[in-house]
Structure 1
């Protein structure tokens, strides 16, 4: 299998915990990823609606600096800052705040909106989906974060036919923020059975299931990809849970290597991407597992 399984899989969430990179570091690092040999694996720059104004300020400063450099040809070029930045905006405040978040991005020609991810309280998924329908521009995707505290299946049913996708939280800063294998498997099973594509956020720091330094039991993103494939092939939630629980890297990498490009495309049509505060770490995991070649010099 080629790198089809990992294409645009890693949304750049450097601004978010636990990385919490400053804007002035996260933005140039994102551009460096896009300029490198692994650009094909990197998704949009993730920013919360509360930080869109800060991002626009930084981009405005870059434009002014670029104009100065163009006026003084002896200085360095703008370093790629002239191209619109593709962003996905998170809206943790819910449906009522989607419109303002979209307007703030669309007001700046230096930004291109690829997606909006809005959190929904239990039982309010339909309301969030309606807000996305009302405010999203053509070409932008909508994701509704489904609460673990509610009836996940019912909330996913509310997304059927809306054209919007689900978002599952797979980790956080406490042990309780990490769903177990069976819980996540049942959520994935429901989404696949209903034909609702999804993305994940938080906790998928490495390719294979492991125990973190803090003692958190964390899912591997490669396990989640494989579990999605098992479900798409007609497997039950218990089958997906067994795949999610697998901790042997060679076993997990071997299963991924058996996927054809067509199978990988099908998996990625359902598991769209996940947010990671480090784009480099998960890619390095794949190199160590032999799933991707080491990047050569440019």
Structure 2
């Protein structure tokens, strides 16, 4: 068995230049082009870069990570290459300030703050047609939301009709403990299962249970019957290695047969 292509299309945003990958930009551009020539090209989203990188990425389709006050300049600099903006709110920004981002004609993902502004920000995203960016990890342990916290925000954005992407920490398909750091990592398949349960109106406890499962076989079996509509909610996630999620899907026997490649990414 393998996952249907509709469930995987555009799921992996190429964030190779960001930690912990930290790939040099020129190499990231070259490797991104190779991904787009590969059998699994349909799974690959835009190359995620900083606004300062735009002069050096050529004609590559990009998502740009910016601050709230940098949006206009980034849109102008990126031009036709721009596929998405990923916007971080300053610590003191009011929720209503996201309204200025609603007129750019591209997908705009606003990072939902992990504080008491969350509810108001999600409401503004729903009212303006903007999207949510959910932080799921990072280089420090406190950047990883707990299962209850992540379940609550997934349920909130899905209920509000706000599509979301995830960023950081999703190095593997299934929830696990990193053997080097001891950090608890969420799995990208767990997030898909959680989003599907939220779409189906399941309880918050059921959404959390989907995030909590560490059983590779159970998660894989559940992923096989996910409705393709789940991607209307969970749009993509940033990964510093396109190979990592592909290798995990192969390990779980979920990789489409036409995408099976050697470890170096060649067909």
Q: Is the 8 A contact 1:166 1:199 kept in 2?
A: yes
- RMSD of the alignment, in Å? 1.5
Q: Any residues of structure 2 matched to 1:1-298 within 5 Å, and which? A: 1-53=3-55, 55-56=56-57, 59=58, 84-91=59-66, 93-94=67-68, 96-106=69-79, 112-121=81-90, 124-128=94-98, 130-134=99-103, 136=104, 138=105, 140-212=106-178, 213-259=180-226, 263-264=227-228, 266-292=229-255, 293=257, 295-296=260-261, 298=267
- Provide the C-alpha distance between the structure 2 equivalents of 1:208 and 1:13, rounded to a whole number of angstroms: 20
Q: Structure 1 unaligned segments of length 5 or more: list them.
A: 60-83
- Higher alpha-carbon Rg: 1
Q: With structure 2 as the length reference, what TM-score do the two structures score?
A: 0.92
- Provide the C-alpha distance between the structure 1 equivalents of 2:29 and 2:166, rounded to a whole number of angstroms: 22
Q: With structure 1 as the length reference, what TM-score do the two structures score?
A: 0.82
1:290 Cα deviation after fit? 1.0
SS of 1:11's partner is strand
- Provide the C-alpha distance between the structure 2 equivalents of 1:10 and 1:124, rounded to a whole number of angstroms: 30
SS of 2:84's partner is strand
1:2 Cα deviation after fit? 1.6
SS of 1:199's partner is strand
Q: Is the 8 A contact 1:90 1:117 kept in 2?
A: yes
SS of 1:115's partner is strand
Question: For residues 22-48 of structure 1, what are the alpha-carbon distances to aligned partners after superposition, in whole Å with 9 as ceiling and x for unaligned?
Answer: 012101000000000000100000001
1:256 Cα deviation after fit? 0.6
Question: For residues 20-73 of structure 1, what are the alpha-carbon distances to aligned partners after superposition, in whole Å with 9 as ceiling and x for unaligned?
Answer: 0001210100000000000010000000113223x25xx3xxxxxxxxxxxxxx
1:151 Cα deviation after fit? 3.0
1:150 Cα deviation after fit? 3.0
Aligned length: 257
Q: Is the 8 A contact 2:173 2:190 kept in 1?
A: yes
1:126 Cα deviation after fit? 2.8
